[in-house]
Amino acid sequence: MKVRFDRDTCIGMFQCVAEWDAFTEDTDAGKADLEGGEEVEPDVFERAVPADAELDAKFAARVCPVDAIEVYDDDGDQLV
């Protein structure tokens, strides 16, 4: 499973931070950070989701009010 985070879209509501600790608060920027994320496009970050964090990653994606977080399975199909 993979998570994709569009940091440009993020408006810093920080609901995701409460759901998965891979997301942390950058209060100076008013944005979340995805720990361990690789910048695959300007301000878009991706990383693998460990098996024990799959539920947390899905919840983080679901609670984001601006859909800045997407979750994909290993076949590349979007789950959330």
Query: Which parts of this chain interact with ligand SF4 (CB under 6 A)?
Result: 10-16, 23, 32, 63-64, 66, 68-69
CB of 50 to ligand SF4, least distance (A): 19
Tokens of 8: 């440009």
* β pairing state of 23-26 and 31-34: antiparallel
CB of 72 to ligand SF4, least distance (A): 16
CB of 6 to ligand SF4, least distance (A): 8
Distance in angstroms (rounded) separating the CA atoms of residues 30 and 18 = 16
Q: Which is nearer to ligand SF4, 12 or 37 (CB)?
A: 12
Distance in angstroms (rounded) separating the CA atoms of residues 54 and 62 = 12
